[in-house]
Amino acid sequence: MGTSALQRRRDQALGSGAELFYDKPLEIVRGEGAYLFDRDGRRYVDMYNNVPVVGHANQAVVEAMAEQQATLNTHSRYLHEGIVAFAERLTSLYHDGIESVVFGCSGTEAVEVAIQMARLATGNRGLVCTDATYHGNSELVGSMSYLGDNPPQSGDVRAFPFPELYRPLEEGLSEDELSDAYVARVAAAIASLKAEGTGFAALVMCSIFANEGPPEIPAGFMAKVTELAHREGGLVIADEVQSGYGRTGCWWGYEKTDFLPDIVVTGKPMGNGLPISATAAKKDLVDAFRAEKDYFNTCAASPLQAAVGMAVLDEIERLDLVRHAADVGDRLTRKLKDRAADYDVIGDARGYGLFLGVEMVKDSASKKPDMDLTLALSDRLKDKGFLTSYSGKYNNVLKIRPPLVFSHEDADAFLAAFDKCMGEMHG
């Protein structure tokens, strides 16, 4: 495949390792709602990008951004009504145990703040996460990412197998027994940290294990593992960067998977493209963090972030996007499950609202992951005007995560394209 002049310039300017999607990368020049347009004017349905949660180029958000930037934008060391009002509104959306917020500019920053809060509160350093997770790309947060089949047995991090029904830890167990088996693996990870003298500070989880699939989670696991973490003296950090802001058909992923975290992290969708993140917790946790760390971020907790953040919340409520995500997503999930019964190479289809995964395998009996098939399917869908990606421990799960303005009509068009691709590839 030839390399375009723009791609060659990009490789020089950004470094040749800067990732691009698809065998033949796209040059995108414009977005509108759930759609992206290339230089030739071809329209694509964006089924991957959770950043423009209320749609690309949302007019209300654009106007709020322009008006605030034309009025005032400065750092957070001045009093500003808009910043306080945004923080108050955001914290009102969490469960009652979440009272105060630390703003940042990226999910990575927000997770780092959460970890520091947990370490200060517990006096310990140890972190427990899954073996196929992703929480950011800094040195600290990146130490928890994609640990695979041979996770570290020393240091500050321990991993456990992510909970799932499709490839269970043990065959032949009831769902309740399977849940207990996964909890036991978390308990072993905590015990290992304590035995080494590191101690246990926090269990860090995406509320729906987004990068892990997202899998169907054994019933009761999330509540049981939260109880375990608290009993062992640690805190529970919920990474809601992908699962929050109505994505699952609830405001927060933890509502969908039924647990109450101590610290909640969110990011990308908060600003619909403007960098905003938040770490939210009880006020005493936030106060202790601020007293110890004197945290300051020049571009965070700014009037611009507050104006845009409020506009995004307004649009989610005006367009009833939380309910919409549940309605469209649940129907799309059902339709994809139907297709899993028709094709032996579709091992499983599952979803939480408008976050769906289609797991591609060599055959349904062996459940052997087929990454090549997943990549080929994603490329074919791109050629038909639908932009997806992949995730999962084996990179074999077609990842579907559109803006929340994605419609029933968009879903039907995608299903037709999906059927054509599967027919072309497998008859």
Tens of pLDDT, residues 301-321: 999 999 999 999 999 999 999
| Mean pLDDT of the region 323-351 | 97
Residue 120's pLDDT is what?
98
Q: Are the CB atoms for 388 and 398 separated by under 8 Å?
A: yes
Lowest mean pLDDT among 8-22, 278-292, 301-315, 330-344: 8-22
What is the model's pLDDT at position 2? 59
- Residue 12: which residues within 8 A CB-CB, separation 6 or more? none
Average pLDDT along the chain:
96
- Packed helices 408-426 and 371-383: angle between N→C axes, nearest 10 degrees: 120
pLDDT, position 298:
93
Burial of 140 (C-beta count, 10 Å sphere; 0-12/13-18/19+): middle
Query: What percent of the chain clears pLDDT 90, i.e. is strictly above it?
Result: 92
Tens digit of pLDDT for each residue in 92-111? 999 999 999 999 999 999 99
Give pLDDT tens digits for 265-292. Answer: 999 999 999 999 999 999 999 999 999 9
The burial class, CB within 10 Å (0-12 / 13-18 / 19+), for 355 is buried
* Closest listed residue to residue 182, CA positions, set 143, 131, 136: 131
At residue 139, the pLDDT reads 87
Res 16: pLDDT = 87
pLDDT in tens, 165-222: 999 999 999 999 999 999 999 999 999 999 999 999 999 999 999 999 999 999 999 9
Query: What is the pLDDT at residue 23?
Result: 87
Give pLDDT, residue 1.
Answer: 46
The predicted model scores a pTM of: 0.96
**Per-residue pLDDT tens digits for 354-381:** 999 999 999 999 999 999 999 999 999 9
Complete domains list, the chain, with CATH: 5-54+320-426 (3.90.1150.10), 59-318 (3.40.640.10)
What is residue 221's predicted lDDT score, i.e. its pLDDT? 98
pLDDT tens sequence across 123-168: 999 999 999 999 998 988 988 987 777 777 778 999 999 999 999 9
Tell me what pLDDT residue 209 has.
98
CB 319 within 8 A of CB 405: yes
User: Residue 315 is encoded by which pair of tokens?
Assistant: 């649009």
Residue 333 scores a pLDDT above 80:
yes
pLDDT tens digits for range 45-66: 999 999 999 999 999 999 999 9
